[in-house]
């Protein structure tokens, strides 16, 4: 269930006004800050094993870098701690200024992501518009797909460039959500994990429920014994019986685990053909053999195929990670 997640907060000049959310009485940057602070304060925002970064990006301003690390690799289990809260408070000192170097921000976020195909990873960009300043963000689609990093985008304000932002997210298997209020912004910055609605997901959910129910029953038994509500012979007999019931689930869990592992291995193999095509075109682009427009057009089919395969890997890896240890 664990993800590596990087949040990219657009702090460009346009984020400092309220265009597109005039009725809110605050700027788009304030809306972004408030939604993130609320996210970090909520106990259920992340899984304990998640790793989270927060980076701000805007044109260089008052000797501050274009891409600035605000929260560095904090675990989901620690995200509501005082240390994380103080790190996130650095957002309050960020002022809206200059342009939107989104490409450079994506490049920095992708450096944080490893190449482990079985590790679920994501980048969530909070912005009020698409920008090609300095580096075109679309040129990082190849690396995101290669590393299997999903890019989601929260578009702040009515004027957020829906078409281009949605296209950028979609090409990595991600989601675009527009936010015009704090509630919508908060919903947009919550990382969307795959559901358990598939047949495999329902099977995993059922197994999880059975194991958790047995563990709660075991915890209750332990409390009863410690409070001397039951004697040692009864405690030992009931504990032995529960251990047998939990162990009996092991074959089912291992069968689901083996099947999901095989399916993921098959999907990883499916990645090779579109990856080879994209890598070849990227090399031609970098050698100036083809221009940017032709490069982006020609990788379109491979991008679509790879994004769909990556989505399926993400869903199955999420289920695999969710299986309880026995």
> What pLDDT digit, counting tens, does each position of 165-212 carry?
999 999 999 999 999 999 999 999 999 998 877 888 888 888 888 888
Which tops the pLDDT comparison, 261 or 42? 261
240-267 mean pLDDT = 89
> What pLDDT digit, counting tens, does each position of 12-62 carry?
888 999 988 888 889 999 999 999 988 988 878 899 899 999 999 988 776
Residue 233 has pLDDT above 90, yes or no: no
Q: What is the pLDDT of residue 84?
A: 61
> What pLDDT digit, counting tens, does each position of 297-315 carry?
999 999 999 999 999 999 9
The whole-model pTM stands at: 0.89
Average pLDDT, the chain: 89
The confidence band for 85, taking pLDDT boundaries of 50, 70 and 90, is low
- Residue 210 burial (10 A CB sphere; 0-12, 13-18, 19+): middle
CA 316, CA 264: separation in Å to the nearest integer? 7
CA within 13 Å, CB half, 264: 22
Residue 125 has pLDDT above 60, yes or no: yes
φ, ψ (nearest 5 deg) of residue 283 = -65, -40
Over its C-alpha atoms, the chain yields an Rg (Å, rounded) of 23
34, 81 in Cβ contact below 8 A? no
Q: Identify the H or E element spanning 322.
A: helix 300-322
129, 14 in Cβ contact below 8 A? yes
> What pLDDT digit, counting tens, does each position of 285-296 carry?
999 999 999 999
């Amino acid at each position: 269930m664990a993800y590596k997640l990087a949040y990219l907060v657009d702090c460009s000049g346009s984020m400092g006004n309220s265009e597109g959310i005039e009725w809110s009485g605050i700027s788009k940057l304030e809306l972004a800050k408030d939604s993130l602070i609320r996210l970090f304060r909520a106990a259920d925002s992340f899984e304990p094993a998640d790793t989270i970064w927060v980076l701000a990006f805007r044109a260089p301003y008052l000797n501050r870098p274009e891409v600035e690390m605000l929260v560095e690799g904090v675990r989901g289990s620690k995200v509501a701690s005082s240390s994380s809260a103080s790190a996130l408070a650095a957002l309050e000192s960020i002022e809206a200024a200059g342009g939107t170097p989104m490409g450079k921000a994506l490049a920095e976020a992708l450096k944080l992501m490893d190449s482990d195909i079985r590790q679920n990873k994501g980048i969530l960009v909070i912005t009020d518009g698409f920008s090609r300043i300095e580096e075109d963000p679309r040129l990082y689609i190849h690396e995101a797909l290669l590393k299997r990093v999903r890019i989601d985008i929260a578009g702040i304000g009515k004027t957020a460039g829906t078409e281009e932002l949605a296209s950028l997210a979609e090409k990595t298997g991600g989601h675009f959500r527009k936010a015009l209020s704090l509630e919508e912004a908060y919903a947009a910055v919550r990382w969307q994990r795959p559901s358990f609605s598939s047949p495999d997901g329902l099977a995993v959910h059922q197994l999880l429920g059975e194991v958790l129910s047995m563990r709660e029953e075991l915890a209750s038994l332990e409390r009863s014994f410690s409070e001397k509500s039951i004697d040692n012979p009864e405690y030992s007999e009931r504990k032995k019986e529960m251990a047998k019931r939990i162990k009996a689930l092991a074959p089912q869990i291992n069968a689901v685990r083996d099947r999901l592992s095989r399916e993921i291995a098959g999907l990883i193999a499916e990645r090779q053909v579109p990856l080879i095509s994209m890598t070849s075109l990227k090399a031609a682009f970098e050698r100036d053999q083809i221009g940017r427009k032709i490069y982006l057009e020609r990788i379109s089919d491979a991008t679509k195929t790879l994004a769909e395969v990556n989505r399926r890997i993400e869903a199955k890896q999420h289920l695999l990670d969710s299986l309880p240890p026995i």
